Amino acid sequence: MSSNLTLSANKNKQLQSPNLDSESPAPGTAKNSAPSPCRIGPDATPDVGQLTREPAAAGAPAAPRARPRTRDLRIDSLRGLMLAEIALVHTGCPLGRFSNEMFGRVPAAAGFVFLSGLVAGAVYSRAADEGCAALVRRCVRRCAYIQAYHLAAFVPLLAVLLIAPRANEHFGFAVGQDVHDLLRALGYFAVWAYQPKYFDVLPMYALFVLCMPLALWALRSGRGNLMLLVIFALWGAAQAGLGSRAPGAEPFGLFHGAFNPLAWQFVFFSGLYCGYWYLYRGRPVVTPQPLLVALCALVCIAGFTMRWELVPWPASFAHGAWLASKADYGAAYLVNVLAFVYLIYALAWRLPRVFCWPAFAFLGRHSIQVFSFHLLVVYLVAPLRWRAEAHGPLAYDALGLMVVASLFLPAACHARWRALRARRERQQAARTAQAQCA
């Protein structure tokens, strides 16, 4: 009987689908891929996803199939670092202003979006193994999940305005004091037609998730190069003005936020491409080469001098200009981010333990919860910003660090909730097995 119980419980565990927030799969173990010694300790429960191959018919390619793997602490650590930096930047303290694009035209938002695509390339490729319909259902559920947290961060702020309308002097929402105005704003917000400051990342992320089935279909059918061509063409169209928001435009309108989705989709889907090949298929897209490392280092140095204005650059490279527009992810951002990602990849390849930071990894394992919570906190502490600034930069930086420290609260709550849910599922599996054996 105990053997049957164990087999039933293990089978039930393997059927659970992994969560994008809580999973950063390790790279595959292909011949040319680097080992990943950084693993999460006691909670490193194996998940399904590493490439194995089934016997194929003569002349037919082997189909990928999932097998257990452990998490990659480096990916979780980098995601957590991006979340902490985003919160610090949004607080507006001197430390946040200094860390904003500190290494060049490399914003933390780009790192967060790229890493989200990287993990999605592995996680949802495994969902695609179950068929197109299963993948579409998974993506729709994920979009609804993101939307729920998007609303959960905004609704409390509207409640604050309902109780204390003067708080809008700090919030800056395009709403009146009437209840009908607040409900109207909520309605537009729910359909992504109103995106206040900082509330534009999650809708864009949800939109990319809805488009993932088509991208994964292209990758799995051997049309990866076509996918890259399409996302590059869309990025080029954005540089020509498609999807751009005119200065002073009406705040109400589909995706009238600070980011042009047609441009920023390149960040997400390039990460998806890398995640599919490297994390799911176990084949590095590129390998560290000395010449390429040197070239990318020169690009990053150029971006550093551009960001801090250490040398004169043409006006088109000024911040917000055509080639350096963060909203439209201009060419300066595109090239600088790709070069920086390659350097980080090369360094993580050679020195993997350098990027193992347990505290940041804890945040990275609960990215949606942490990100939505930071939106709420940044707005709630807005009335305190001028007071902290009046007491000097150290007090303002202390406020920013307190905001970063608060991010561990939603991560801890979500981790506790997941642990309780896992225990209930194990108990249910045990009871089911006992009933079958009775």
DSSP type of residue 323: G
Give the pLDDT confidence of 200-210 residue by residue, as tens digits. 999 999 999 99
Q: Give the helix/strand (H/E) hosting 48.
A: strand 47-53
Q: b or e along 226-237 (b: 16 or more beta carbons within 10 Å of the residue's beta carbon)?
A: ebbebbeebbee
Q: How far apart are CA 335 and CA 316, in angstroms?
A: 15
pLDDT given for residue 52 in this prediction = 33
Name the average pLDDT for the chain.
86
| Residue 30's pLDDT band (cuts 50, 70, 90) | very low
Task: Report the chain's terminal Cα–Cα distance, integer Å.
Answer: 9
pLDDT given for residue 251 in this prediction = 86
Position of tokens 């179950």?
A: 130
C-alpha triplet 416, 372, 182: angle, nearest 5°: 125
pLDDT given for residue 435 in this prediction = 86
User: Which of 46-60, 121-135, 245-259 has the lowest average pLDDT?
Assistant: 46-60
Q: How far apart are CA 411 and CA 409, in angstroms?
A: 5
| Residue 180's pLDDT band (cuts 50, 70, 90) | very high
Sign of CA dihedral 420, 422, 424, 427: negative
User: Which of 52-61, 77-86, 295-304 has the lowest average pLDDT?
Assistant: 52-61
pLDDT given for residue 60 in this prediction = 36
Residue 66's SS3 state is strand
Over residues 128-136, the mean pLDDT reads 92
Give the pLDDT confidence of 368-416 residue by residue, as tens digits. 999 999 999 999 999 999 999 999 999 999 999 999 999 999 999 999 9
pLDDT given for residue 25 in this prediction = 55
| Residue 51's pLDDT band (cuts 50, 70, 90) | very low
The set of residues, in sequence order, having a beta carbon less than 8 Å from that of 192 and lying 6+ positions away, is: 203, 206, 207, 254, 255
Q: How far apart are CA 155 and CA 134, in angstroms?
A: 31
Closest CA to 143 of 213, 214, 201, 205: 205
Q: Give the helix/strand (H/E) hosting 267.
A: helix 261-274
CA 135 to chain centre: 19
Position of tokens 């169209």?
A: 237
pLDDT given for residue 80 in this prediction = 97
pLDDT given for residue 70 in this prediction = 63
Closest CA to 75 of 124, 101, 40: 40
| Residue 358's pLDDT band (cuts 50, 70, 90) | very high
Over residues 332-354, the mean pLDDT reads 95
pLDDT given for residue 26 in this prediction = 53
pLDDT given for residue 34 in this prediction = 40
pLDDT given for residue 68 in this prediction = 43
Over residues 267-274, the mean pLDDT reads 97
Residue 105's SS3 state is coil
pLDDT given for residue 401 in this prediction = 97
**Residue 170, amino acid:** H
Give the 3-state DSSP-derived string for 118-130, with helices as H, strands as E and coil as C.
HHHHHHHHHHHCC
Q: How far apart are CA 295 and CA 343, in angstroms?
A: 10
pLDDT given for residue 38 in this prediction = 56
C-alpha triplet 78, 397, 307: angle, nearest 5°: 60
> Does the structure show a pLDDT above 60 at 330?
yes
> Does the structure show a pLDDT above 80 at 278?
yes
Q: How far apart are CA 406 and CA 287, in angstroms?
A: 38
> Does the structure show a pLDDT above 80 at 359?
yes
Assigned token pair, 22: 């809580």
The set of residues, in sequence order, having a beta carbon less than 8 Å from that of 210 and lying 6+ positions away, is: 139, 140, 143
